[in-house]
Amino acid sequence: MKYLEKLFALAFLIIFLNSCGVSKSIHNRPDVSGYDAIIPEKVKINDSTFVVGNNFLLKNKQGQWELYVEGNPLQIGKITGSLTQDLMQKQEAIFFNKVEDLVPSKTQQYLLRKFLAWYNRKMYLHIPEEYKAEIYGLSQFSSSNFSEIGEPYLRLLYLHGAHDIGHALQDLMLVGCSSFAVWGDKTVDGELLIGRNFDFYAGDDFAKEKIIAFVNPSEGYKFMSVTWGGMIGVVSGMNDQGLTVTINAGKSEIPLVAKTPISIVTREILQYASNIDEAIAIAKKREVFVSEAIFVGSAKDKKAAIIEVAPDNFGVYEVENTDELICSNHFQSEAYKNDERNIEWIAESHSMYRFERMEELISEDEKLNVDDAVAILRNKKGLDDKEIGFGNEKALNQLLAHHGIVFKPESRKVWVSSNPYQLGEFVEYDLNEIFKNREGNPATKSISNAMENISEDPFVYSKAYKDYEEYRILEREVEAAIENKKTISAEKLSELQQKNPEYWKAYYLTGKYYFEKNYDAAAKIAFETALNKEITTVPDKEKIEHYLKKLGQ
C-alpha cells in the first residue's frame, strides 16, 4: 500500500500546490451576492452531536458521521462547514502531511507550483456557479494553517479534481471499483438492486471519518451521498427520485488541462436528474478531463445504465434481454469498441477479471436480495473460488475499500458499510423517512433504521483477518527497507509470506530484496513462487519474469 499512498500524495501535491500560483487571479471567489448567507449558530449537544437550526451532524454507533443540511448553495456550504469543521480540517492535515513527506524541497514545490498553476487555470470555467458558491461557503471554515499553500477557497476547489488526477497520473487506478445491478426476475421482489465497492485508498487515516450526507437543496432534488470533510462532489449517492450514481475510473491519458471534475458531474446528475435520459443529458453537456464510467440506476426506468465519458469520446451502455448490468474499470459501449487505451486496459489490468468474478457470483443465485448483494461486495476470492491472497486487486473485496454501498432505488433505501473496509455493519437508511417533515425537527439520535442493518462480516474476528492486518504493516516495513537499502532479517521475510501465503506480492518483495542483495538462489525461489500465484496485472507478471531472466532463468 505504501506505493499507492505515495502516488496519491503526489496527486494531491499537484492539486494543492498550484493554488498559490493562481491565488491572485480574478476567479478567486465566486459571486455570492444573490444568496442569503445567514445561518444559525452551531449548538453542541455533546462530543458527537451538533445542531445548526434544522441541520445536524451526529455520529452513529457504528462510528459513521451522519449529516443533514438544507438551504441555498451558500447556506449549505456554510452550514456544512460549520458542522464538519473539525473533520474537514483533519482531512486537510492528512493531505498536507503526505505532501510534506513526499516533497520536502521548497525548490521542487516552487517549480511544481508554477507549472500546475498553468495546468489548473481553466477548471473554474467548468464548475457550475452554485457549486463554486457552496465550496466558497464551506471554505469559510477551512484551516488557516496552510495559508502559504493557497487561500481556503482555491484549496477546496482544486481538491475536487483529486479523484480525476489521482487515476490519470501514470494510470494510478486508485479507484479500481466494482459495481453491479440486477432487477426484474433476478431479484427476490423484482425491484432494482445495486451494489458497489468504492476502492479508493488514500491511507488508513483518510477513511476513518466518513460522512453519510443528506442534502436538501433549495433547487433540485434531495439526495444522499457518502463523502468526507471538504468534499461536495459525489462518488456514491441516491436522490429522492430513486436515481443513483456511482463512478468507476477508466483508462486515461494524463490530461493537458483540468476541466469538470467527475464528482461535480455526478453531483449535478444526482441533484437534477430523475431518470437515465436526464442523467445522460447532463453528462453530455460537461467537458471532463479523464475517462470515467458513471453507473446510473433509476427507479423510474427500473434498470441501470452506464454513461462512459472521456475528454474525446462519449458513450452509453445499456443491456437488452437480461436483468443485470456489471461495471468494473473498462468501457463496454459501442463508442469505445475500437479505443486502443480501453482494449489494452482490458488485456493487461485486473478489470476484466473482476467483471467475470461478478458475473460468476451473480449467477450463483437465481434471485438476489440485499444480503446477497453485500456478500458479493465482501467476497475475497478469485474466479472459481480460488484463494488469491488477501488484498489482491483481482478480488471484489480488496480489503482497502473506502466504502461499500447497496441501493434499492424503488424503495428509496440504501445500506452503507462501516469500518473496517466494507466488513463492518451495513447501515440502512430510508430517504422517504429522512426527508419527511424535516422543518423544525433537528435530529439528536441516529437516523438509520437499525432493524434492517446487515450484520458485520464474521471474517473480522478470524485469525486470517488478524494475520492480514499484520501483513499490511510488514509489507510497508519491507517496502521501506528495500527502498532505503536497509537490511531485513530472513525471519521477517518468512513472516511476510506466512501472514498472507496466497498473495503473490509477499514473494515478489522477498525476491526483490534478495535480488538486490545478490542472493540469487533465494531470489529465484521467491520469484518462481510468485509466478505460481494469481498475479494482479500483466505488467506485474512481466516484471517478475524480467527479474528471473536476469537471474538466468
Half-sphere exposure of 121 (CA within 13 A, CB side): 9
Give the list of residues 6+ apart from residue 515 with CB closer than 8 angstroms, or none.
Answer: 523, 527, 547, 550, 551
pLDDT digits (tens, 9 = 90+) for 94-109: 776 665 665 566 676 6
End-to-end CA distance of the chain: 29
Same-domain status, 332 and 401: yes
What does the pLDDT read at residue 56?
96
Q: Which of 436, 455, 474 is the last residue of a domain?
A: 455
| Residue range of the domain that includes 194 | 43-455
Helix, strand, coil percentages, rounded to 5, for the chain: 45, 20, 40
Count of the separate structural domains present in the chain: 2
Give the list of residues 6+ apart from residue 198 with CB closer than 8 angstroms, or none.
Answer: 175, 177, 226, 235, 236, 246, 401, 402, 403, 404, 405
Distances (CA, A) of 196 to 166, 249, 397, 405, 439: 20, 13, 10, 6, 32
Instruction: Give CA–CA dist 201/217, Å, rounded.
Output: 30
For the residues 165-192, what does the mean pLDDT come to? 78
Q: Determine, yes or no, domain membership for 76.
A: yes
- Residue closest to 225 by CA, chosen among 86, 12, 431: 431
pLDDT higher than threshold 90 for residue 111: no
Same-domain status, 423 and 492: no
Half-sphere exposure of 209 (CA within 13 A, CB side): 20
Three-class SS state of 55: strand
Instruction: Give CA–CA dist 254/98, Å, rounded.
Output: 22
Same-domain status, 432 and 523: no
Half-sphere exposure of 309 (CA within 13 A, CB side): 27
> CA 267: distance to chain centroid?
14
Three-class SS state of 185: helix
Q: Determine, yes or no, domain membership for 25.
A: no
Mean pLDDT score across all residues of the chain: 88
Give the list of residues 6+ apart from residue 17 with CB closer than 8 angstroms, or none.
Answer: 99, 109, 112, 113, 116, 149
Q: Determine, yes or no, domain membership for 13.
A: no
pLDDT digits (tens, 9 = 90+) for 449-494: 777 999 999 999 999 999 999 999 999 999 999 999 999 999 999 9
Same-domain status, 394 and 536: no
What does the pLDDT read at residue 91?
82
Three-class SS state of 301: coil
Distances (CA, A) of 416 to 66, 226, 323, 448, 529: 11, 8, 24, 10, 38
Distances (CA, A) of 403 to 207, 223, 507: 8, 18, 29
pLDDT higher than threshold 90 for residue 29: no
Q: Determine, yes or no, domain membership for 396.
A: yes
Same-domain status, 211 and 151: yes
What does the pLDDT read at residue 448?
84
What does the pLDDT read at residue 103?
58
**Torsion angle of C-alpha atoms 163, 247, 209, 470, degrees rounded to 10:** -90
Same-domain status, 538 and 392: no
- Tell me the percentage of the chain whose pLDDT exceeds 90: 71
Instruction: Give CA–CA dist 283/547, Å, rounded.
Output: 45
Same-domain status, 351 and 474: no
DSSP 187: B
Q: Are 291 and 310 in contact (CB under 8 A)?
A: yes
Q: Determine, yes or no, domain membership for 31.
A: no
Highest mean pLDDT among 154-158, 279-283, 336-340: 279-283
pLDDT higher than threshold 90 for residue 193: yes
What does the pLDDT read at residue 167?
55
Q: Determine, yes or no, domain membership for 488.
A: yes
CATH number at 300 reads 3.60.60.30
- Neighbouring-strand partners of residue 414: 407, 429
Which cell goes with 173?
Answer: 487506478
Q: Which of 414, 435, 455 is the last residue of a domain?
A: 455
Q: Check the CA dihedral 223-227-232-237 and report its sign.
A: negative
Kindly state the helix (H) or strand (E) to which residue 205 belongs, with its residue range. none
pLDDT higher than threshold 50 for residue 119: yes
pLDDT higher than threshold 50 for residue 340: yes
Same-domain status, 51 and 178: yes
Q: Determine, yes or no, domain membership for 150.
A: yes
Q: Higher model confidence: residue 16 or residue 226?
A: 226
Three-class SS state of 413: strand
Distances (CA, A) of 12 to 15, 92, 544: 5, 10, 30
Number of DSSP helices (H) and strands (E) in the chain, helices first: 17, 17
Three-class SS state of 415: strand
Q: Are 223 and 404 in contact (CB under 8 A)?
A: no
pLDDT band at 163 (very low <50, low <70, confident <90, very high): low
DSSP 457: P
Q: Which of 437, 455, 473 is the last residue of a domain?
A: 455
Q: Which segment of 108-112, 169-173, 477-481 scores lowest on mean pLDDT?
A: 169-173
Give the list of residues 6+ apart from residue 160 with CB closer than 8 angstroms, or none.
Answer: 127, 135, 231, 232, 233, 261, 263, 264
Same-domain status, 522 and 417: no
Instruction: Give CA–CA dist 11/172, Å, rounded.
Output: 9
The angle that helices 504-516 and 463-483 make with each other, rounded to 10 degrees, is 30
3-state secondary structure 257-299: CCCECHHHHHHHHHHHCCCHHHHHHHHHHCCECCCEEEEEEEC
For residue 463, how many other CB atoms are within 10 A of its CB?
7
DSSP 204: G
For the residues 386-412, what does the mean pLDDT come to? 96
pLDDT higher than threshold 80 for residue 337: yes
Q: Higher model confidence: residue 46 or residue 23?
A: 46
pLDDT higher than threshold 60 for residue 3: no
Kindly state the helix (H) or strand (E) to which residue 302 belongs, with its residue range. none
Instruction: Give CA–CA dist 380/117, Å, rounded.
Output: 42
Q: Determine, yes or no, domain membership for 10.
A: no
pLDDT band at 48 (very low <50, low <70, confident <90, very high): very high
Instruction: Give CA–CA dist 366/375, Å, rounded.
Output: 15
Distances (CA, A) of 209 to 58, 180, 386: 12, 26, 33
Secondary structure (DSSP) of 37-50: ---PPPEEEETTEE
Q: Are 72 and 218 in contact (CB under 8 A)?
A: yes
Same-domain status, 99 and 225: yes
Lateral strand order in the sheet of 211-217: 43-46, 49-52, 55-59, 65-71, 211-217, 223-227, 236-239, 243-249, 292-298, 303-310, 313-317
Strand 413-416 to 427-430 pairing: antiparallel
Same-domain status, 142 and 119: yes
What does the pLDDT read at residue 252?
67
pLDDT higher than threshold 60 for residue 45: yes
pLDDT higher than threshold 90 for residue 166: no
User: What radius of gyration, in Å, describes the C-alpha atoms of the chain?
Assistant: 23
Same-domain status, 488 and 545: yes
